[in-house]
Amino acid sequence: MTTVFASGNDNIHHNTVDFQAFSIDDTAKRLAVSSRHIHRLIKSKRLRSFTVGRRRLIAANDVLDLYFQGVA
């Protein structure tokens, strides 16, 4: 799991948002599917992802949504 910290303009706000995201391998393990299946879901746009540097991550909320939809 990766925690990404985002803050607004320091001149206006001093808020920090805690945002959790998982790697493709972590997502696959949590959903008990293969990494390849996660890649297919991303490619078919049924699972959103984003990159940070060279890492592809999936927001924890999107993993939960996928779990409750029963797509995995």
Residues 6 or more apart in contact with residue 20 via CB below 8 angstroms: 1, 2, 3, 4, 59, 60
Residue range(s) defining the domain that contains residue 37:
2-69
Tell me the residue type at 4.
V
User: What is the domain count for the chain?
Assistant: 1
- Taking the chain (72 residues) in runs of 10, the rounded mean pLDDT of each run is 51 63 95 96 95 94 91 62
Give the strand order in the sheet containing 16-23: 2-7, 16-23, 55-59, 50-52
Question: Is the pTM of the predicted complex or chain greater than 0.85?
Answer: no
Within a 10 A sphere around the Cβ of 13, how many other Cβ atoms?
9
CATH number at residue 13: 1.10.1660.10
